[in-house]
Chains A and B, each alone.
Chain A
Amino acid sequence: SQQGEEDPQALSIQEGENATMNCSYKTSINNLQWYRQNSGRGLVHLILIRSNEREKHSGRLRVTLDTSKKSSSLLITASRAADTASYFCATDPPGSGNNRKLIWGLGTSLAVNP
């Protein structure tokens, strides 16, 4: 079942600008994960943030997590045309054990214009 919701559904920006995508979810979580998908390709993991963490960085990516609001944001700074892709959040709910059935959002489609 899809419980994550990304916002906005689509985002178009100019190269060099920052891009912010949001993810809201409904259940408690062990962690929240962000993935990127280029057109016609598989997903690539970007960042995993645990429920007891509030912020993580990886290069030009910054992820925040607010468990009280059940929301997360992904910030891409100084965007490049190569960042054009769909971005998905996935939540890992407690109680799923080692099977780890992630709950996926519907994604944000980002277009970075040169």
Chain B
Amino acid sequence: DGGITQSPKYLFRKEGQNVTLSCEQNLNHDAMYWYRQDPGQGLRLIYYSQIVNDFQKGDIAEGYSVSREKKESFPLTVTSAQKNPTAFYLCATKGGSGNQPQHFGDGTRLSIL
């Protein structure tokens, strides 16, 4: 989706290291989401944010942290407390209210060194 940029595309984490995944959008959408996808699986919600300076835990927030200081940006930090971080991470946005779909970035693949 051209309006959502995730970086880097590939990321490697060493033991005990925190890493931050970037998600930037130019769609002017209020809501932003972080999902984790494991091989052959569906999407699991990590964190989501409806407005700047506000965010809520999803279903699997342990070992992750986020911030929402700007409408355009919703970075995700994978902390050393997340013992199994190897996965495909997807950022999504949603505009308006009511019946609107989510729009996705192209993902970041995180692996353990």
Taking Cβ atoms with an 8 Å cutoff, the residues of A that contact B are: 1-2, 4, 30-31, 33, 35, 40-45, 48, 50, 88, 90, 92, 98-102, 104-107, 109
Q: Does B107 contact A (CB under 8 A)?
A: yes
> What's the minimum C-beta distance from A64 to chain B, rounded to whole angstroms?
17
* Contacts beyond the supplied A30-B98, A45-B102: 15 A-B pairs with Cβ under 8 Å: A4-B42, A30-B99, A33-B102, A40-B109, A42-B4, A42-B107, A45-B103, A48-B101, A88-B42, A99-B48, A100-B31, A101-B45, A104-B43, A106-B41, A107-B41
Do residues B99 and A48 form an inter-chain contact, with CB atoms below 8 A? yes
- Looking at A4, A43, A105, A107, the one whose CB has the most chain B CB atoms below 10 A away is A43
Q: List 6 A-B contacts (CB under 8 A).
A: A2-B42, A30-B98, A48-B99, A98-B50, A100-B100, A105-B42
Complex Cα gap A2–B48 (Å): 17
Identity of the chain B residue whose Cβ is nearest the Cβ of A99 in the assembled complex: B50
**Given the contacts A100-B31, A101-B45, A105-B42, A42 and B58 also touching, CB distance less than 8 Å:** no
Taking Cβ atoms with an 8 Å cutoff, the residues of B that contact A are: 1, 4, 6, 30-31, 40-45, 48, 50, 56, 58-59, 88, 90, 92, 94, 97-107, 109
Complex Cα gap A107–B39 (Å): 11
Chain A residues with Cβ below 8 Å from B90 are 42-43
Q: Which of B6, B42, B56 contacts A104 (CB 8 A)?
A: B42
Chain A residues with Cβ below 8 Å from B31 are 98-100
Complex Cα gap A48–B101 (Å): 7
Do residues A43 and B104 form an inter-chain contact, with CB atoms below 8 A? yes
Complex Cα gap A29–B55 (Å): 24
Chain B residues with Cβ below 8 Å from A45 are 101-103
- Looking at B43, B56, B58, B104, the one whose CB has the most chain A CB atoms below 10 A away is B43
Chain B residues with Cβ below 8 Å from A92 are 99
Complex Cα gap A101–B56 (Å): 11
Do residues A98 and B97 form an inter-chain contact, with CB atoms below 8 A? yes
Q: Which 3 A-B pairs have the closest CB atoms?
A: A42-B104, A45-B101, A104-B42
